[in-house]
């Protein structure tokens, strides 16, 4: 049984003829455009990872600031 990849499903949904060509072993002639698209997707993936890490850091810093503020208020009350 052959594994069907998400990219293959995407190709089929976008264009059944293109999917058929790839399945039959036809090599696309627009290799430069395909490589450019792959680089673009890799760059976007790195940006998404970086933004996710920055968001996590922001939440941690906010939590630390809140903890320090509550500790400060606790010291004032006593």
Question: To the nearest whole number, what is the mean pLDDT of the chain?
Answer: 92
CB 52 within 8 A of CB 41: no
pLDDT digits (tens, 9 = 90+) for 59-71: 999 999 999 999 9
pLDDT of residue 78: 55
Pairwise CA distance, residues 2 & 57, whole Å: 42
> Within 13 Å of residue 4, how many CA atoms lie on the same side as its CB?
6
* pLDDT over threshold 80, residue 15: yes
Distances (CA, A) of 7 to 10, 44, 71: 5, 17, 52
Average pLDDT over residues 12-23: 90
For the chain, domain boundaries = 6-77
- Which pTM does this prediction carry? 0.61
């Amino acid at each position: 049984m052959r594994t069907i990849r998400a990219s293959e499903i995407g190709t089929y949904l976008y264009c059944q003829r293109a999917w058929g060509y790839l399945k039959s072993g036809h090599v696309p002639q627009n290799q430069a455009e395909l490589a450019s698209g792959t680089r673009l997707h890799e760059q976007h993936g790195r940006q998404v990872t970086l933004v996710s890490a920055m968001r996590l850091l922001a939440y941690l810093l906010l939590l630390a600031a809140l903890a320090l503020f509550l500790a400060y208020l606790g010291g004032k009350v006593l």
